[in-house]
Chains A and B, each alone.
Chain A
Amino acid sequence: MQVQATTTPAGYVKNIWDSVVSTLVGMRITGKYLMQKPITVQYPDERLPIPDRYRGIHYLEQEKCINCLACARACPIDCIEMDAIRHGKELEWVSFTLDYQKCMFCELCVYPCPKDCIHMGTEFAFVAFDRSEFKFDLLSFKGMDRAARVRMKEAEAKKKAKEEAKAKKAAEAEAAAAESAEAPEKQQEEQAEKQDEEPPAEQQPEGDEA
């Protein structure tokens, strides 16, 4: 709304006209935005898709890694430190840390890896109360992307289910052995056993797959 000093009646009318028109134009634009869908997302609940080549916190495929130090040497700011003890062909990992106070996410550590075991992840949000907490231990898969984390959680759940099923089976066998001594309740027990055995039977093959 540019109101200019006026000396003529025409200028006066023009000022009024300009003010009204520019206000209406502005209101049309804001009204259009008001009606359209917001472009922001409800961040913690939903996130914008992360590009494939996004460089977030690293994740390390620990089984593949051979402790060759290629990534640590490639790092221009020396933020990767690793240590492992060799027992013949087996590696006993001590530490594989990456200091995210220093790391500039240049991805130079990824290329020299002969086993293709260190990757840039998709995780970008990390806060801490203490500086030392930014020294991430990659051995426990801290930096891996969400899909990998889901996969690992599933695997863990399956493993747990398998163990639980085993424990249950053992407990049932024990209970059956104890109860077989008492004749009158035998029928009921057998039914109960059958019901109890069903879930482990389902879980067993899944556990094997994992």
Chain B
Amino acid sequence: MESGTNAFLEVLRMAFGDLAPGWVLVLGSTLLAVGGALTLIAVNALFATWLERKVSGHIQCRFGPMYVGGWHGWAQSLADGIKLITKEDLVPRGGDRTLFMFAPALLLAAIFGAMVAFPITPQIYFANVDLGVYFILGLSALTTIGVVMAGWASNSKWSLYGAMREAAQVVAYEVPLGISLLVPVMVAGTFNLLDASAEQSGWYGMHWFIFRNPFMIPALVLFFVASLAETKRAPFDLPEAESELVAGFMTEYSGIRWSFFFMEEYAAMLLMSAVAAVFFLGGFESPLTHFANALWGDKLFVTADGVTSLSLAGLPYHLAAGLTLILKALFGVFMMMWLRWTLPRIRIDQVMTMGYKYLTPLSLLCVLGAGIWEAIRS
């Protein structure tokens, strides 16, 4: 399979190539990818809210949800979702109705677009974007527009304050986020997620970028902190700050529209953690994928004489790769939750100080250090 084609399209072409015209296949593959990404976002939101409540519960020596669904309240967020769907969808009087209704959709669409560009395994992806990191970071930064839109359209001072804070925070933290990610990008020599992951294979995990040079660990920490601010997570959850701004930009939202904000938040957390996993923690590489590769090979799609065919021998490898990435990303999500229930929310001036005076120069320093290190090494 060539670089840049998508796996969904290939499978459809193999199955229905003789029957349907090309544009139907393209449309079908797009629908598959869209459905897949939407399902991922929804399931992730359900699972992550449950996990968040369990983690917060156990950190505070409680149980968290225990009843719904039987086993440790696994169906709690499903029940919450049903409740949210049946709730009234209110639009505040005096608010901008159109923008108010559109804001959560824009928010979700941005993160959703970023998710579609993320490869699931080395050969199963919708689009192998060469500037993948740019694309993903750019689209996930677009969620800020949704937040500002929601804050403005709510016709509420608190909401507007929340939106302003979000805007200020994202402007401050996009810089260290991008620069700290530049360290592994520079080492890998590519913006492509698959290439960066492939670069880290071998040596039983010792080729992971995190072990590559001493500036990688601070870079990962900086990226992690900046991504916390980027996804509006505590201790940088100033935009929603329930104790001072009454949930900030989502004060006026109710029902399913309100839950869109949380879907976005958890999807962004997963996405940021997945980016960190690909660029620092070895991407698809793990003992699992290593052995699956050694035993059955890693090719799900084999191209011979211009004809692409499916080889099921590669299936274990791709299952392992997908599982590896998800687990690494979930580990990042768990760290974010752990941090949320550890640290108190910091003041807005402290947030700005940290972003501009600490993270940005330090991430620049990391880039410099890593560059010099790599230059000497090569």
Residues of A within 8 A of B346 (CB): 1, 3
Indicate which residue in A1, A16, A31, A42 contacts B338 across the interface (CB closer than 8 Å).
A31
The reply on B202 being an interface residue by CB < 8 A is no
Interface bits B47-89 vs A (CB < 8 Å: 1, else 0): 0000000010111111100100000000000000000000000
The reply on A27 being an interface residue by CB < 8 A is yes
Given contacts A3-B350, A31-B338, are A40 and B63 in contact (CB under 8 A)?
yes
Interface size on B, residues (CB 8 A): 21
Interface bits A171-209 vs B (CB < 8 Å: 1, else 0): 000000000000000000000000000000000000000
Interface residues of B in 320-378 (CB under 8 A from A): 338-339, 341-343, 346, 350, 353-354, 358, 362
The reply on A36 being an interface residue by CB < 8 A is yes
When chains A and B are docked, how far (Å) is the Cα of A40 from the Cα of B57? 10
- Cβ of B66 and Cβ of A42 under 8 Å apart? yes
The reply on A128 being an interface residue by CB < 8 A is no
Residues of B within 8 A of A36 (CB): 61
Residues of A within 8 A of B61 (CB): 33, 36, 38-40
- Cβ of B55 and Cβ of A34 under 8 Å apart? yes
When chains A and B are docked, how far (Å) is the Cα of A15 from the Cα of B358? 9
Which chain B residue shows the least CB distance to A44? Answer: B67
Given contacts A1-B346, A3-B354, are A38 and B63 in contact (CB under 8 A)?
yes
Which chain A residue shows the least CB distance to B340? Answer: A30
Residues of B within 8 A of A42 (CB): 63, 66
In the assembled complex, the CB of A159 is this many whole angstroms from the nearest CB of chain B, namely 36
The reply on A114 being an interface residue by CB < 8 A is no
Residues of A within 8 A of B63 (CB): 38, 40, 42
The reply on A23 being an interface residue by CB < 8 A is yes
When chains A and B are docked, how far (Å) is the Cα of A34 from the Cα of B337? 12
Assign chain A's interface to a size class: 10 to 19
Residues of B within 8 A of A15 (CB): 358
Residues of B within 8 A of A76 (CB): none
The reply on A26 being an interface residue by CB < 8 A is yes
- Cβ of A34 and Cβ of B59 under 8 Å apart? yes
In the assembled complex, the CB of A110 is this many whole angstroms from the nearest CB of chain B, namely 36
In the assembled complex, the CB of B55 is this many whole angstroms from the nearest CB of chain A, namely 7
Residues of B within 8 A of A33 (CB): 58-61
Which chain B residue shows the least CB distance to A20? Answer: B221
Residues of A within 8 A of B235 (CB): 1
Residues of B within 8 A of A26 (CB): 342-343
Residues of B within 8 A of A3 (CB): 346, 350, 353-354
Which chain B residue shows the least CB distance to A5? Answer: B353
Interface bits A17-30 vs B (CB < 8 Å: 1, else 0): 00000010011011
When chains A and B are docked, how far (Å) is the Cα of A34 from the Cα of B58? 5
When chains A and B are docked, how far (Å) is the Cα of A1 from the Cα of B338? 16
Residues of A within 8 A of B358 (CB): 15-16
Residues of A within 8 A of B60 (CB): 33
In the assembled complex, the CB of A52 is this many whole angstroms from the nearest CB of chain B, namely 27
Residues of B within 8 A of A29 (CB): 342
Interface residues of A in 29-87 (CB under 8 A from B): 29-31, 33-34, 36, 38-40, 42
When chains A and B are docked, how far (Å) is the Cα of A34 from the Cα of B358? 30
When chains A and B are docked, how far (Å) is the Cα of A157 from the Cα of B157? 66
When chains A and B are docked, how far (Å) is the Cα of A27 from the Cα of B221? 14
- Cβ of B66 and Cβ of A30 under 8 Å apart? no
In the assembled complex, the CB of B299 is this many whole angstroms from the nearest CB of chain A, namely 41
Residues of A within 8 A of B66 (CB): 42
When chains A and B are docked, how far (Å) is the Cα of A36 from the Cα of B57? 11
Residues of A within 8 A of B354 (CB): 3
- Cβ of A30 and Cβ of B341 under 8 Å apart? yes
Residues of A within 8 A of B338 (CB): 27, 30-31, 34
Which chain A residue shows the least CB distance to B60? Answer: A33
In the assembled complex, the CB of B351 is this many whole angstroms from the nearest CB of chain A, namely 10
When chains A and B are docked, how far (Å) is the Cα of A27 from the Cα of B235? 13
Which chain A residue shows the least CB distance to B235? Answer: A1
In the assembled complex, the CB of B336 is this many whole angstroms from the nearest CB of chain A, namely 12
In the assembled complex, the CB of B256 is this many whole angstroms from the nearest CB of chain A, namely 31
Chosen A-B contacts, 5 in total, with CB atoms closer than 8 Å, are A23-B343, A27-B338, A38-B62, A39-B61, A40-B61
Q: Which 6 A-B pairs have the closest CB atoms?
A: A26-B342, A30-B342, A39-B61, A30-B59, A40-B62, A34-B58
Which residues of B are at the interface with A, using a C-beta cutoff of 8 A? 55, 57-63, 66, 235, 338-339, 341-343, 346, 350, 353-354, 358, 362
Given contacts A16-B358, A40-B63, 20 further A-B contacts (CB under 8 A): A1-B235, A1-B343, A1-B350, A3-B353, A15-B358, A16-B362, A23-B343, A26-B342, A26-B343, A30-B338, A30-B342, A31-B338, A33-B60, A34-B55, A34-B59, A36-B61, A38-B57, A39-B61, A40-B61, A42-B66
Which residues of A are at the interface with B, using a C-beta cutoff of 8 A? 1, 3, 15-16, 23, 26-27, 29-31, 33-34, 36, 38-40, 42
